[in-house]
Amino acid sequence: MTLQQLREVAAGCGLPGFAAKQIADWLYVKRVTSIDAMTNISLKGRERLAASYCVGRFSPKAEARSVDGTVKYLFDGKGGRDIEAVYIPDRDRATLCVSSQAGCRMGCRFCMTGRQGFHGNLTTADIINQILSIPESQSLTNIVFMGMGEPMDNLDAVLPALEILTATWGLAWSPKRITVSTIGKIKELKTLLNTTKVHIAISVHSPVAEQRASLMPVENAYPLKDVLSLLRGYDFSHQRRLSLEYIMWGGLNDNLRYAQSLSRLLKGLDCRVNLIRFHAIPDSDLKTSDEATMTAFRDRLNDLGITATIRTSRGEDIAAACGMLAGKQNKQENDGSQAS
Ligand code: SF4
């Protein structure tokens, strides 16, 4: 809960106004896991709180560890579906990739989460719990909203989560250490841009509208050109960063002509492009781009004045692509329940 929500809770439980700050301190600074531990709240007050509320912290139900140190954590999600959070250590950085929905309704062709369909929005508590409940919680340096789900499709939970993460009464993170990735639902993206200072990542994946629509149906509702035109109205030159995500598929969007088109599309936009190696998914004709092609693509973009880097693949041995582990687990559980 945000401080404002905690004020309402405190008032509803007959606690003094300052109790909301005390509760926030217990939850987000001292990180207690029970109301009983909030010892500067009167015993009667704690009893009234505990009658209607709980801290809401729950541990991951399973984990998969990669040889490269990446850890994928599974949590109970919504609609009986599991969700994932992925811990990615990298030299002096420790990033957590969090989920915002169980499944997703955006239906991107290349995504295992999209294939699972939509099973429900995570609550703010579900999102914050991913950050607070993993063993590496205290050593995290970065948070990216790039896990399962489309954050702009669950803004009512994502915005309070960002407030809790960045407020001084909350986890007091700098917004510069948080990135929210979206396919670009325009109205919600505008709200995110206007009400937070977090970094923004946009899933582009193709500069050609027809091809993008065939990969990401959202292109039909929110064309990339409109998303980019919204972004042109914001300053990404110093405090806030704009990244464009581009998954590379062999023989599909990895020809150098696409680099040319992409650079034309991004003209005048302060941004950088992340080229992402595709993790093959079952029953898909989409192929991974080879190393040499990706390098040539990156170099062409750099020559054209666009900063581009190839993102290192992590955790390939633990089904690293978004939604793969949860998809596998959900399938096993469904198969098991059908068998019984
Ligand atoms: S890529 Fe993102 S928006 Fe598209 S289906 Fe997967 S989770 Fe949803």
User: pLDDT tens, 39-65?
Assistant: 999 999 999 999 999 999 999 999 999
pLDDT value for 338: 34
Instruction: Evaluate: CB of 111 within 6 angstroms of ligand 1.
Output: yes
Determine which residue's CA is closest to atom 5 belonging to ligand 1. Answer: 114
pLDDT value for 336: 43
- If you average pLDDT over residues 91-96, what whole number do you get? 96
CB 180 within 8 A of CB 220: no
Instruction: Evaluate: CB of 152 within 6 angstroms of ligand 1.
Output: no
Place of tokens 């979206």: 182
The one-letter amino acid at 297: F
For residue 246, what pLDDT band results from cuts at 50, 70 and 90?
very high
Region of 79 (left: φ > 0; alpha: ψ -120 to 50; beta: rest) is: left
Question: Shortest CA distance to 85 belongs to which of 57, 119, 120, 60?
Answer: 60
Looking at the annotation, which residues are catalytic? 84, 322
The rounded distance, in Å, linking the Cα atoms of 309 and 311 is: 6
pLDDT tens track for 281-334: 888 999 999 999 999 999 999 999 999 999 988 887 886 555 665 666 665 555
pLDDT tens track for 178-213: 999 999 999 999 999 999 999 999 999 999 999 999
Instruction: Evaluate: CB of 106 within 6 angstroms of ligand 1.
Output: yes
Neighbouring C-alpha atoms within 13 Å toward the C-beta of 255: 7
Instruction: Evaluate: CB of 153 within 6 angstroms of ligand 1.
Output: no
Give, to the nearest 10 degrees, the angle between helix 291-303 and helix 256-265: 40
Q: In angstroms, what CA-CA distances link 274 with 97, 113, 198, 220?
A: 16, 21, 17, 23
Decide if pLDDT at 114 tops 60: yes
249 C-alpha to ligand 1 centroid (Å): 16
> Between residues 250 and 315, which one has the greater pLDDT?
250
For residue 141, what pLDDT band results from cuts at 50, 70 and 90?
very high
User: Which residue out of 214, 322, 324, 325 has the highest number of ligand 1 atoms within 8 Å of its CB and is therefore the one to mutate?
Assistant: 322
pLDDT value for 281: 86
pLDDT value for 163: 98
Place of tokens 């990404």: 236
pLDDT value for 263: 97
The rounded distance, in Å, linking the Cα atoms of 241 and 197 is: 9
Locate 325 and state its tokens: 């582990």
Question: Shortest CA distance to 192 belongs to which of 219, 168, 160, 165?
Answer: 160
Decide if pLDDT at 120 tops 80: yes
Question: Shortest CA distance to 171 belongs to which of 236, 98, 122, 244?
Answer: 98
Instruction: Look at the alpha carbons of 159, 162, 166, 170 in this order and tell me if their dihedral is positive or negative.
Output: positive
User: Which residue out of 99, 104, 218, 247 has the highest number of ligand 1 atoms within 8 Å of its CB and is therefore the one to mutate?
Assistant: 104
Q: Residue 260's CB: how many other CB atoms inside 10 A?
A: 14
The rounded distance, in Å, linking the Cα atoms of 26 and 80 is: 30
CB 152 within 8 A of CB 189: yes
139 C-alpha to ligand 1 centroid (Å): 28
- If you average pLDDT over residues 254-269, what whole number do you get? 96
E strands in 37-164: 62-65, 71-76, 82-90, 93-97, 101-103, 118-121, 142-145
pLDDT value for 52: 96
Instruction: Look at the alpha carbons of 294, 96, 122, 201 in this order and tell me if their dihedral is positive or negative.
Output: negative
Residue-averaged pLDDT of the chain: 93
Q: Residue 186's CB: how many other CB atoms inside 10 A?
A: 16
